Structure 1
Amino acid sequence: MSRSENRNQVHYALSLDEACRPVGTRPVHVYWRMLERGPSEVEELLGVEQPVYGLEDSQTVEATAEGWRVRVSLKAFPSRPIDITTARVDGKCQVQAWTKLGNSVSRLEHVFVKTSWPFTVDFVRLDGVGPDGQPVHELIRQ
């Protein structure tokens, strides 16, 4: 997730074991990539940032025919869950995020947040790939 304020990004990491299974009951964690300071600099979210970028406490982990699915929701959009799927493909873990974009469930590729000082969200743009393989975009204004 990127934002308008600077190059820093919010990342959502999924902990997996060697078999591509999610580790634990809350395998997704969120952190900052502080790209303004360097490519390997990371930080935890501040408390005041949790309502915008943080995750709801509940994370549902379940096995699927293809692998595993973890359902999470952003605190800012609890009614729009994100399903993170994992599968072993050609000996590697393949991880994809899925959510509703427009009228269909699409693969989520990127989220951009336009912010204003101090902690106001002007809009959120979701970018993904639809079921037909075409790019899809959705603009959400609060």
Structure 2
Amino acid sequence: MNTVSNSTVRCVGGIVHDERGRILLIRRANEPGRGLWSVPGGRVEPGETDEAAVIREMREETGLNVMPGTYVGNACRGRYDIHDYACSVTGGTLRAGDDADDARWIDAVTLIELDESGRLAELLLVTLRDWGVLPTADGSPE
């Protein structure tokens, strides 16, 4: 049986890649992780399913409508228990909103630069690598 402490906050995230293989990241506008780049997502509200939370959080933070798909993995960061899902974009226009002050498609080169400069959320690069969802785009022009 999986027991979760009352102080644990269940969260979700959406892993989205574009047709070029870039991954969608947001720069957090608020704590925790203010100013760091991360996967879009947030808290699951009481009575909300993970799927509904992913759809809501992605729309709020990125302006995109998504369809959650396969469960990708789980990461615990402090009291946050984060469950990430692969998503496909079904509509909307990319723009930062809600808890994000920027949202953009990130290629592999940029992801490494963000990690090396300390601008990625804690262990994000390692986690994405371990889950097999790193961006495949290399930063070359189309």
The TM-score with structure 1 as length reference comes to: 0.25
Between Structure 1 and Structure 2, the one with more helix by share is 2
**Higher share in strand:** 1
Mark the structure with the bigger radius of gyration: 1
Q: Point out which structure has higher relative CO (alpha carbons under 8 A, 6+ apart).
A: 2
